[in-house]
Every structure is written in C-alpha cells, then in structure tokens.
Structure 1
C-alpha cells in the first residue's frame, strides 16, 4: 500500500468517525446545547430542536434564558447562573422550556463550564433531559401523599369527634362538642346547632356567628330542605345566596360570611337537629368534604338519640307517667334539698298536702280511664297555680304534694287556698252531676323561729295529718300547722 493510499484510508476513517459523532450528537436521547459564558446559544442538537419545535437557525444566537418559562427565567437569573459561575457546574436543575407551540416542557438540566484552552473559547455545555414522565410521577406521588394525609386527617377528625361526643352527658354538651369539631375540623369560622324534637325546635346553640339574624332570613327554607331530603344543603358563594334570596345574602355580608352548609342530624327515626357551618371565603364543597361532614352529623345524631333516651329514662324514674308531675322519689329528693337550703339560709319552707274529695265515686262509677282524665286535669291546674319555684308532685292515688320554697305560714295559706279554688272549679272531663274538691293540709317550718332541724318524713307527716283534719271537719278546706 502506498503512502497516499494509507492517507486516503485514514482520512476516510476520520470522516466516518466525524459522521458517527455527529449522528450521536444530533439523535442523542437528550437535548444538547453549548452557550457562551453569558448564555448565548452556539450549538444545539436535533433532539432539542424537535422538543422545542424550533430549528437550529432560530435557536443559535438566542439566549438560553429566553427559552425558559417565566418562573424558570427568574430562577436562572437569581440562582442557576450564580451557581454555574461559582462552582463551574450545575446538576439536575428543574426548569421548564417554552416550546414553539406555547406549551411548557419540564426538563432537568446538567451544565458544565469548559474553560478556554488550545485556542478554543470558554463555553458552557448543557444537557437537557425531558422530565415530563418524572414530573407526572412526582405529581402522582404528591397527590397520593396529600390524599393519604387528608384521609388520615379525616380519620383523626372522626375519632376526635367520637371521643368528644361520647363524653357528652346532655344535649348542650353534645351541641358544643359538635360546634367545636365543625370549627376546627371543617374549618368553619362559625357554627350553630338547631335541636329538634319531632317538628318542634327545642333550642339553638351557636359559636362564632350571630345566628338569629340568619335564621330570620331565607336560610329557614334551606333548613327545611335539608330536613326533608336528609341531604347536606350548601351555598358556596354570596352570589348564590343572593340568587336564593337577597335577605340571605345581606345577612351573610353583615357578618362577613361567604358560604354555608346545612347538615341534618338524621337518625333512624328522622331528623333530630341541624348543623349549620359558616365560612368567610367561597367554598367548593367536594364529595370528600361533604362525606366527612355527613359522617360527623350521623354520629352526632346517634349520640343525640342516646342522650335523649338517657334523659327520658331519668325523667321517667323521677316523674309520674300519667300526670307528668314529679313522683314520690323526686319529691323526697327535692324536699331533702329544700330543707338543707332553708336551714342554711334561714328561710321558711312549707309543704302543701292535697287529697281529692269525691274522686272515689268517679273511679268506681265512671271507670278508671275517666278517673285518669280527672287526675291529669287536676295536675295541670295545680301546676298552673303553683309558683315557678314550687315543686308539684303526685304522692300516690289522688294525693298531691306541693313543696313551697321561701313560703311562711301566711304565704303558704294563700297558695293552698289558690289550689283549693282551682280544684273546685268544674272539670271538663266530668258529667255535671259529679264534682271534685280538695282537702288540704299545710305544714310550715321556719328555721328562723326555732333552732331544731326537721326531717323530710316529719314535715310530710305533719302536712298529711293537717289534710286529714280538713277531711274530718267538712272537706274542701285548708288546715295549717307549724313544724
């Protein structure tokens, strides 16, 4: 082989090698570019051209920073260029390139600063990697993490609510616990609980909001809607409130409210109450948020049923089932307490013992059902005639006892006469030929007049004996004694 043949062979190999490197450069699985130290692009490969939708002629001579989305440009100017200048390289910098079609391409950038040598100018060589799939994976991971955190927060909220509701001993405590969880867990600026018994409102408890002006507006219609459907009703923004009723929007604006939700406390036997949550910003009530609110409302309804059942059982244990008056157990407990209070405060205490005259013939001749009607009507009259501080109790059969706090002999005599006149009036449930009257005995104890204490049984016994004196001396009269 001649020298010229050898040179030709070497030259051909060099050209093939150059072509191979050029092909590797342009079809590399990453974008590649070089820039001057001040960021002007001098070379780009075909991959970057394809990704950006811009040809080399358009890219070369422009600044690399101008390819970036707005946020990336700010980062480039404040951080990227500084790091590259100080350390000579930058690794896995997350940026976004603005493509020719207007979309943003998420990328990771590695760059290295190559100093000038052997007549070559200083330049920056940059590799650009498509981060679309990585960004999507990260987004999915972040979404999953947020969902897990939200799920954990919901579980904690429901657990916390369950504990708080379980500690409630009455409706007031339950309503306060429900309002507290609505404000902390549902991020409401104010909340209110409207308690219902059947179709009757039994009370409203609120915190963080003046509920009366709101309940006087069209929100009442929304409450009715929640009760009828058993579903949560929402108002997401003031414009929606205005569309429902101008007075609702005005009432919300006055308290700087923008949204609300109305959740029925619905149990197996119907709606027992309403939870109203108020927000100072527009709300997008998504399905998960509504599900949590509904779960809290359902649990509160279950606890409310339990509390009311306990109250009913406690009431039954201390009250007469026929008349609704206190029974003998409640009478004894209350009289014990009143004796202690009277002795402590030095105030008088009186017991009025009432026995119905003419009741036995009614029971025997007209039957127990009509006799029960008479007892119920008499009980209502005694309750109406008594003072608010007096306890009216059914002692047994046709006997009633009234405990009169802070009543001396004179005051108790006036009250007893009022009871007698109330009983004596014709009863609606009786035929005209039947009449009922009352023989009454009054026993008064005044710790300010004598030093010795008195016992419950003693005071009741004295009033009972005085009542029998009234019976023996003509009935339908009042007899008073002092303990």
Structure 2
C-alpha cells in the first residue's frame, strides 16, 4: 500500500510543476508582439501593453512602425527591415517607442522573420537603465577628455610661460592659451602703462575705446573688484553695461569674461575674452582660467623684476639716465653705425659750473635735486633718439647720431640756455651753468676712432670751454 501511494505522489509531481505557458507569454520579462507581412500588429503580450500604456485593443491593427518616434521610424526603414529580410533576424536594434502618455521609451529590439508567412516575431526590452548608464559613461568620458584637454593646455602654457623672457612673448602665449581653452572669438591681454591706463598688450579688444573713455566694462570691473567678471548674454549686458550694447551688436558679441592679472594682490592687467554665442562657464573652466591667470601673473612679475634689475644695472639711480656702462655700449653701436652709413656723429661732454659750491653750501639733497632738474632739461633739449648719460658726478654725455657741426651747435645752445635757467631750491647767489665739449666724428676722414678716444677728445674740449671762461661750447672734429 505504501509503495503504491508513493508511486502516486511521484506521478502527481510533474503535473503540479507543469508551466502555465499562457502566463509565461503574457508576463514575460520583455514585450512580445507579432506583426503580419505589412507590419500590422496581430498579437501583443501584457508586458508590451504595460510598457507603452496602451490596451491590447489599441495596439492590435496598428503597425509597429506607427509606434516609433520619428528618428526610429527612419532607422526602422533603413536598418531594421533590410537586415531582417536579408538575414532572417535582427538583434539588439535600438528603437524608441511612443508611449500612451506621450513619453518616449528607449528599447532594444530582437526580431525573427518567417519567410513562409511573412510574419515577424519581435521581442522588446526596456533599455532605460542601460541608456542612463551609457549616458553616465559618456558624460564621464567627456569629463575625462575635457580634464585631459585642460591639463594639456596647462602643460603647454606652463612651458610657453617658462620660455617667455619678455612681456610681449608672455602675453602672446597667455592669449593663445586662453583662446584654445575657451574657443573665444576675441581674446586680449591688457596691461597698465606708466600712466595707470589699461593698454592692449596683445590680441583684439572690441571695447578698448570705452576703457580709454573711462566707461565701465567687464575688463575694468574685473580689475576694480579683483575677481573674474562674466556677462552671459545680451540681457545681462543691458542690465549691467547698457552703454556697451552698440559695440556688442556691431561685433555680433553675446558673452564676455574678464580675469585680472595681479602682482602681490594688486591688479596689473586683465585677460578679456569675447564670444559670438552664449557661453556658460562651468567651475572646471573657471578653475582653468584662474590657474592660467596665476601662472601668467607670477611670470609677468618675474619678467618685470628682471627688467627692473637690468634697468638698474644700466641706468643711473639718481637721474634715471644711462650710466657709464650703457654709454659705452651705445657709443660703440653709434660709432659702428656712423662708419657704415658715412653720417656724422656728435659726442657732447658736459660739466656743470658752480655745482660744487651749491652741493657744499646747500647740502647734498639740493645737489641731488640739481642733478635731477638738469637731467630733465637735457631730455627736453635733445631728440628722443639721442642717448643721454650721467658719466659721473656732475658730468653728462650726450650721443647725437647723424648730427653735423651746425646741428650740434643748435643743440648745445639750447642746453646752455636751459641749464642757466633758475633751479628750484638753489639761491640766486649760486648760479649754475655748463661747460661743453663736442667731439664731432666725420666718417669721411677715415680716421680710426675708439670709444675711449672720442670720449677723451670731448672731455678735453669741455676743459677748454671751462678754461676759456665757462658757459660755452668747444667743438673738435675727429
């Protein structure tokens, strides 16, 4: 009896485990539908109706193609159907379906074509999560590529900045780096000149006339606030800088950004970029701009310090004129140029009469003031191309290229008259005048001349003027 009962239980087990094929079809983990040869849907499972939010009756009789978005319809015609009929099946074709609520459902579609009946059996898989994942991967990849590109820009900029030994080279490298990083329509570097006015060092700045007119611009606001200033679109421009609208319209500009260049916290210039489209400046891009600005600021400060040291090495600290070392260099160059061109060169050697009495009686501060005032008068008495130097003490040398005897006489007459004018801080009883000696080089004479030789002749001529009564000029021709 027991054996018989056990056998019956064993016979019953397979019956209880028999699958419900209708349920497996209706509630399969993917949408399933069948279309006729003309694409009309003849069957669809419950999963597919839930995916789209349509009832079965709404789906039957419609074509599968009519359920697709516009882009997917084209892909269905050009990819899905040709491959299906050629190979008899397609796998993992990405198509987007229109849901009943108007939303779009991204899917992956497998299809089998039955040639005898023309019937197509289609499995539809919801790929929303996969699409989101792929989008995240794509965004991560783009972020990585952008980061890599920014690092590459910084590396190239760092190399260019390190190699730059002049302000011109540095500003050109900085402008190129910013243009590359931002793909700007215009980029310019502006630096403050000695008068405290922003001037274009390199690039194109469409608003420079507004800056020189004293009007507010993103560039001037950036240096005033000592922070990055952006203008994102014409609406913001009208609200903050309405007077700039004509220039923006004329140049077809939409967006602007400006970042100050600083040295020890003080603005020394500004980077300005303009765009002919609306731009958003995300944090990584702003961080890149800040890094480029900081690097360039440090290099600019270094270059200016080096220039200042070079200037100090070749110029007199009291008067700012060329010192003896620079005079030697310039005189060597002037002699060589005169010999090549055959044009005359005048070397003027000047000594102040009465300076020692002023220095001893009024003090060294007044003496220094006299030297500075005389230096300023010498500058106004000669051409800007002429070199003026303080040779030592109260002695000055002036190099006048392409200057003959008549021309140098006019120059020395102006110098004698200007030096005799009253000097600030010097009592009238201590007059100052000048004794001048001129060595005039005539290259046509074919006389070998050295720097020391022509300076010695000019110095000797000066002493002739001093011994002859002072306040006069003696000219010797070499």
Task: Answer whether TM exceeds 0.5 for this pair.
Answer: yes
Q: Does 2:450 match 1:455?
A: yes
- Count how many residue pairs are aligned between Structure 1 and Structure 2: 467
| Aligned equivalent of 1:400 | 396
Deviation at 1:389, TM superposition (A): 1.6
CA deviations 1:269-294 (Å, max 9, x no partner) are 41111111121212122222222222
What is the aligned partner in structure 2 of residue 412 from structure 1? 408
In 2, distance between residues paired with 1:142 and 1:417? 80
Identify the match of residue 264 of structure 1 among 260, 263, 269: 260
Aligned to 1:285: 281
Distance 1:403 1:217, change over 3 A: closer
Please, which of 276, 290, 295 is the counterpart of residue 291 of structure 2?
295
Give the one of 317, 320, 327 matched to 1:321: 317
Q: How does 1:326-345 map to 2 (within 5 A)?
A: 326-345=322-341
1:124 aligns with 2:120: yes
Which of 453, 456, 469 lines up with 2:464 in the alignment?
Answer: 469
- Point out where structure 1 has 5 or more consecutive residues left out of the alignment: 1-11
The 8 Å contact of residues 192 and 211 in structure 1, kept in 2 or not, is answered as no
Structure 1 contact 238–258 (Cα < 8 Å) conserved: yes
Matched, 1:195 2:191: yes
Structure 2, unmatched stretches of 5+, are 1-11
Q: Distance in 1 between matches of 2:457 and 2:198?
A: 40
Residue 351 (structure 2) aligns with: 355
Q: Which residue of 2 aligns with 1:311?
A: 307
Given the superposition, is the C-alpha separation of residues 67 and 271 from structure 1 closer, same or farther in structure 2, using an over 3 Å criterion? same
d(CA) in 2 for partners of 1:202, 1:360? 44
Report the more deviating stretch, 313-322 or 166-175: 166-175
Q: After TM superposition, give the deviation of residue 59 of structure 1 in Å.
A: 1.3
1:235 to 225, 231, 236: 231
| Structure 1 residues 382-411: Cα deviation after superposition (integer angstroms, max 9, x where no partner) | 111111221010001111111111111222
Partner of 1:138: 134
Partners of 1:343 and 1:453 within 8 A in 2: no
SS in 2 for 1:227: helix
Residue 379 of structure 2 corresponds to 383
Asked if 1:31 is matched to 2:26, the reply is no
What SS does structure 2 have at the residue aligned with 1:261?
strand
* 1:242-257 equivalent positions in 2, closer than 5 A: 242-257=238-253
Structure 1 residues 319-348: Cα deviation after superposition (integer angstroms, max 9, x where no partner): 001100000001000000000000000011
- SS class of match (1:412): helix
Aligned to 2:154: 158
Deviation sequence 1:234-274 (CA, Å, 0-9, x none) = 22223333333444121122222222211111232411111
1:66-124: CA deviation from partner (whole Å, max 9, x where unpaired):
222222122112221222122211110011111112221111000001244xxxx4421
Q: What is the DSSP-based 3-state SS (H/G/I as helix, E as strand, rest coil) of the residue aligned with 1:372?
A: helix
CA RMSD of aligned residues (A): 2.2
Using structure 2 for the length normalisation, give the TM-score.
0.92
How many Å separate the matches in 2 of 1:400 and 1:35? 105
TM-superposed CA distance for 1:179, in Å, is: 2.0
SS in 2 for 1:200: coil
State the Cα distance separating 1:437 from its structure 2 match: 1.1
Instruction: Tell me the distance in 2 between the aligned counterparts of 1:236 and 1:152.
Output: 26
* Structure 2 CA distance for partners of 1:202 and 1:251, relative to 1, 3 Å: closer
Q: 1:311 to 1:216 in 2, by over 3 A?
A: closer
Equivalent position of 2:87 in the other structure: 87
